[in-house]
Amino acid sequence: MNAAPHARKVAVITGASQGIGAGLADGYRQAGYAVVGVARSLPPSDEQDYLAIQGDITEPETAQRVVDSALDRFGRIDTLVNNAGIYIGKPFTEYTLDDYLAITAVNLAGFFHLTQRTIPQMASRGSGHIVNMSTSLVDHADSNRPAALPALTKGGLVAVTRSLAIEYASRGLRVNAVSLGIIKTPTPDPESYNQLGGLHPLGRVGEVADVVEGILYLEQATFVTGEILHIDGGQAAGH
């Protein structure tokens, strides 16, 4: 393999098939990165700077395949964005065991398997950046939108973001998180977002571009680690 691919920074993005993940894949490529996109359903790509990997991130084998494929194709991993996640909102006593297993598998096990395999690659080079996705419901619970399991899992990601940021700061790694409000993504009912703007002090729901810009800010902010950046129209600050 020639030296050129090794000189370009590489970002691994989970949940890359649509919505925020697809926006992040485009944003990082526009910023000059090669991208490894991961999703359960993802068509192959013949783009030189984009490697598409189809797989379930809840399975350790998928995480290993992602890391091995990224290193084989591009020779390095500079950034990992743990974007894949699921949201199940309902009254706490109505959650089923299947709900619990599904949300913890994606939001926690998916994070664990891939992050644990990526960190050694970053630490061996003395640099790297991990970004985790959380929700402002962790900071600002809403009685009209009960979401205990998302809060349980995404709150755990907030805690582990700070923990890993301190554990690996001396090794040159940064770990940050973004805490999102309601973000407008493709849906069969786009009108459903109209009434949700009032949940944010800025009076609108977020766009995918808002999330991409926030994460690319963290990418460039090399003195920022252990930070939870709220991209939520002011929701966490109050109402």
Tens digit of pLDDT for each residue in 96-105? 999 999 999 9
Tens digit of pLDDT for each residue in 188-211? 566 667 767 777 888 899 999 999
Calculate mean pLDDT across residues 19-41.
Answer: 97
Calculate mean pLDDT across residues 37-63.
Answer: 96
Number of domains observed in the structure of the chain: 1
- pLDDT tier for residue 74 given thresholds of 50, 70 and 90: very high
Tens digit of pLDDT for each residue in 109-159? 999 999 999 999 999 999 999 999 999 999 988 888 899 999 999 999 999
Tens digit of pLDDT for each residue in 30-39? 999 999 999 9
Question: Which amino acid would we find at residue 82?
Answer: N
- In sequence order, what are the beta bridge partners of 184? 207
What is the reported pTM? 0.94
> What percent of the chain is predicted at pLDDT more than 70?
95
Which residue has tokens 């977002």?
A: 193
Is it the case that residue 44 has pLDDT exceeding 80? yes
Which residue has tokens 């399975």?
A: 59
Query: Burial, 230: exposed, middle or buried (Cβ in 10 Å; 0-12, 13-18, 19+)?
Result: buried
- pLDDT tier for residue 2 given thresholds of 50, 70 and 90: very low
Domain that holds residue 9: 4-237
Question: Which amino acid would we find at residue 202?
Answer: L
Residue 85: how many other CB atoms lie within 10 Å: 25
- pLDDT tier for residue 27 given thresholds of 50, 70 and 90: very high
CATH number at 204 reads 3.40.50.720
**Strand order, beta sheet including 128-135:** 50-54, 34-39, 10-14, 79-82, 128-135, 173-180, 228-231
Copy the structure tokens of residue 219.
């990418």
Specify the pLDDT at position 135: 96
